[in-house]
Amino acid sequence: MNKTKHFLIISLLLLITHSCSPLKSSPNEEKHQMELTLHEVQTNLDDLRHELNCFQTEIQILDSKFSHQEEESLKIKNTLLDKTQNKLDLVSSRLSQIESKLTTIEQKQFAEEDELNKLNSHANETTTALTQHKNKLSDLENSYFSNQKQIDEISNLKLTLKDIAKYIKPSPISSYKVKKGDSLEKIAKNHKVTVEAIKQLNQLNNDLIVVGQDIKIP
């Protein structure tokens, strides 16, 4: 295209130069020369128009391609935006689910901590109660051992008394029926015992006795 422009400019300059130069040829030759020059210029102009048309066509094609590329780019952009938005929505939904799960877990954790605190409190109370029961049990054991010691001492004392009883011969107790003219002093003297011994054995509060009364004699 630049070559055609240069050729056209040169042709116009030649035409102007030829028209301005002094006439050295015949009018027919000059006319013929002018016609040739005009024809050549016309041809160059046609070529230039053709190239311009081609250039415009190429520009239109490029514009069409550019518009098509813009449309494709816009479609791709919209598609990417839609995909990105979908991913963002999905991520947002998952985040909401995770937050909900975290809230549930925190609530469960708080409930478990509260239950654990209650269990610890109950365990402390149980430990205190066990300590008290242990102390009571220890006191009971000490009391048992003390009582057992006393029981052992009593048992030993009983054995000792039994051993002593083996060596002590019990006095025989006899019975006497009161006769007319008897008195406690007379009866005691006849059986060689004291009046107090007879009264104590028979649980008598005084010396009064009656005929026919049975009296135990130690």
DSSP string, 59-74: HHHHHHHHHHHHHHHH
Give the contacts of 51 (CB within 8 A, at least 6 positions apart). Answer: 1, 4
**Any domain includes 142:** no
Query: CA torsion sign, 71 to 72 to 77 to 79?
Result: positive
Q: Residue 167: what pLDDT? A: 58
Q: Residue 159: what pLDDT? A: 80
Percent of the chain with pLDDT over 90: 17
| E strands present in the chain | 174-177, 214-217
Residue 176 CB burial class (10 angstroms; 0-12, 13-18, ≥19): middle
Q: What is the pLDDT of residues 175-187, one digit of tens each?
A: 999 999 999 999 9
Domain holding 192, by residue range, is 171-218
The CATH number linked to 203 is 3.10.350.10
- In total, how many domains does the chain have? 2
**Any domain includes 194:** yes
